[in-house]
């Protein structure tokens, strides 16, 4: 049973919430069981070797819905961006604090944002734990000075190869990767292994899997110590424990949740894709156009509305932590009305364009080609000028709306205020119209 079938069978059924929760758990268990091994040894057993994960206990450890809603409600409308400094620097590695402060002021004063999503990487933590935490402390302070909350992604997706010989030069400098017109440039470091993300069906490399036994203690220490350090920090709105976890990484997601629950931070926990059943707040990503099927490398193959319905079906607060792909039809004007109606907090991808990351270019854009007619991501030029003044106005005006339920025709006719004879006559006319193709009494 795939998740689309689960969704149709549960969300569209009246009064089916209990059935949905049962079906969703069943589907996730089937999805977990269907994970394919990357070696002859079963993947889940190999990843979780020596660790007992009690799924029922993890699900029961989630915040109850009322607590989650009460918590998220205190922040009002969550409006944010995925933040990378426009000069290609990092908030953790050689941060340009003056630039970061300036851009976050623009986020607040020009765009009207109140939150940013950023990465804390395991590899950086392994190389320089003290420096990473010191720089993150400074970043939190700058955000707080600008009334901006922070949503950190605790990313084990890049970890150090335990068999690589790291020298001082490797540890401190790295290499800036820049290719004209190519999306996603920035710092690159040698000696890193990668856990799969961004590809729902992506597999884990045998090299990463083989290194996990040696690397797992560092990953566990990273998760536990970081969460413990900021467990009661009110500047942090939520912890994202794995970015876009694919099916193959589900065993890792379960272990990370177990470590995090044992710390028990005051902020909620979440993982999109393979972590909805374990999350306090539902997070999801979408780069699709409402009403159209979407097939791109960063989607589940679901259209926007199906993705939104899946998130809504869990009955918990929702945050869309990645979106905005203008050439795909995933635009400010197309998406915000849905988020207003369904009270979805959000984080567009990117603040200021240009720089080595060049997020204004789509994925797979030919190197050296002219920019697209429409920017892919980002809201501002490097000097703080809006890419689109109309977009900025829509963002600043964004409010959750209380929408009255639309009139249900049949319940309307059954109300005491309606003459039943009028209702019967209307129904007779509409039945006749369905047979003849025209309303009785019309001339043609």
Work out the pLDDT band at 295, boundaries 50, 70, 90.
low
Average pLDDT, the chain: 82
Q: Over range 232-251, report the average pLDDT.
A: 94
User: Comparing 89 with 335, which gets the higher pLDDT?
Assistant: 335
pLDDT for residue 9: 39
The whole-model pTM stands at 0.82
pLDDT in the model for residue 201: 77
pLDDT at 48: 78
N- to C-terminal Cα separation, the chain: 50
Residue range 127-159, pLDDT digits in tens: 899 999 999 999 999 999 999 999 999 998 888
> pLDDT tier at 294 (50, 70, 90 boundaries)?
low
Q: What pLDDT does residue 144 have?
A: 98
Domain edges within the chain: 39-403, 409-444
Report pLDDT digits (tens) over 402-436.
876 655 555 554 555 545 454 455 455 445 544 44
Please, which residues have CB within 8 angstroms of residue 246's CB and are 6 or more apart in sequence? 196, 197, 198, 199, 200, 201, 202, 273, 274
pLDDT (tens digit per residue) in 302-338:
789 988 999 999 999 999 999 999 999 999 999 999 9
pLDDT of residue 176 exceeding 90: no
Q: What are 6-45's pLDDT values in tens digits?
A: 333 333 332 333 333 333 434 334 333 333 444 434 677 7
Q: How far, in Å, CA of 106 to CA of 383, rounded?
A: 9
300: pLDDT strictly greater than 80: no
Predicted pLDDT of residue 184: 79
Q: Rounded to the nearest 5 degrees, what angle is found at the Cα of 118, between the Cα atoms of 319 and 164?
A: 130
Question: In terms of pLDDT, which residue wins out, 385 or 293?
Answer: 385
Does the structure show a pLDDT above 60 at 186?
Answer: yes
In this model, does residue 234 exceed pLDDT 90?
yes
- Give the Cα-Cα-Cα angle 342, 345, 350 (nearest 5 degrees): 135
At 371-385, the pLDDT tens digits run 888 999 999 999 999
Sheet holding 239-240: strands in order across? 269-270, 239-240, 149-155, 115-121, 79-82, 344-349, 318-323, 282-285
Residue 151 region by backbone torsions, left for phi larger than 0, else alpha for psi between -120 and 50, else beta: beta
| pLDDT, average across residues 87-94 | 86
Query: How far apart are the C-alpha atoms of 13 and 15, rounded to whole Å?
Result: 6
90 vs 227, residue with greater confidence: 227
> Domain 39-403: which topology?
TIM Barrel (3.20.20)
pLDDT band at 74 (very low <50, low <70, confident <90, very high): very high
Sequence-ordered list of residues with C-beta below 8 angstroms from that of 393, at least 6 positions apart, any chain: none
């Amino acid at each position: 049973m795939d998740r689309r079938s689960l969704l149709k069978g549960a969300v569209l059924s009246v009064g089916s919430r209990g059935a949905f929760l049962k079906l969703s758990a069943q589907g996730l268990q089937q999805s977990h069981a269907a994970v394919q091994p990357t070696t002859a040894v079963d993947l889940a057993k190999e990843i979780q070797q020596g660790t007992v994960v009690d799924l029922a206990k993890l699900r029961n450890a989630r915040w109850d819905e009322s607590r989650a809603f009460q918590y998220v409600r205190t922040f009002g409308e969550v409006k944010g961006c995925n933040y990378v400094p426009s000069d290609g620097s990092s908030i953790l590695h050689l941060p340009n604090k003056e630039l970061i402060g300036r851009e976050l002021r623009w986020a607040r004063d020009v765009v009207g944002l109140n939150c940013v999503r950023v990465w804390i990487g395991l590899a950086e933590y392994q190389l320089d734990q003290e420096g990473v935490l010191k720089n993150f402390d400074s970043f939190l302070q700058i955000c707080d000075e600008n009334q901006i909350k922070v949503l950190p992604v605790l990313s084990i997706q890049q970890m150090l190869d335990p068999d690589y010989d790291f020298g001082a030069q490797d540890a401190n400098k790295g290499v800036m990767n820049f290719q004209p017109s190519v999306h996603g440039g920035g710092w690159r470091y040698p000696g890193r292994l990668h856990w799969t993300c961004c590809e729902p069906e992506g597999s884990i490399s045998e090299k990463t899997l083989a290194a996990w036994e040696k690397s797992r203690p560092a990953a566990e220490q990273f998760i536990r110590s970081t969460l413990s350090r900021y467990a009661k920090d009110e500047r942090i709105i939520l912890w994202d424990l794995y970015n876009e976890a694919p099916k193959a990484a589900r065993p890792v997601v379960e272990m990370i949740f177990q470590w995090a629950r044992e710390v028990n931070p005051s902020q909620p926990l979440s993982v999109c894709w393979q972590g909805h059943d374990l999350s306090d707040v539902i997070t999801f990503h979408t780069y699709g156009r409402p009403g159209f099927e979407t097939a791109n490398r960063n989607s589940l193959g679901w259209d926007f509305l199906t993705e939104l319905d899946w998130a809504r079906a869990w009955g918990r607060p929702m945050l869309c932590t990645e979106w905005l792909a203008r050439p795909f039809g995933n635009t400010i004007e197309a998406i915000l009305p849905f988020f207003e109606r369904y009270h979805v907090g959000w984080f567009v991808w990117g603040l200021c364009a240009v720089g080595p990351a060049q997020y204004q270019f789509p994925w797979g854009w030919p190197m050296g080609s002219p920019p697209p007619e429409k920017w892919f991501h980002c809201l501002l030029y490097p000097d703080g000028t809006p890419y689109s003044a109309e977009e900025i106005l829509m963002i600043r005006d964004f409010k959750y709306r209380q929408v009255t339920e639309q009139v249900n025709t049949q319940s309307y006719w059954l109300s005491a205020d309606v003459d039943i004879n009028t209702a019967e006559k209307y129904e007779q006319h509409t039945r006749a119209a369905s047979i003849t193709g025209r309303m009785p009494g019309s001339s043609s």
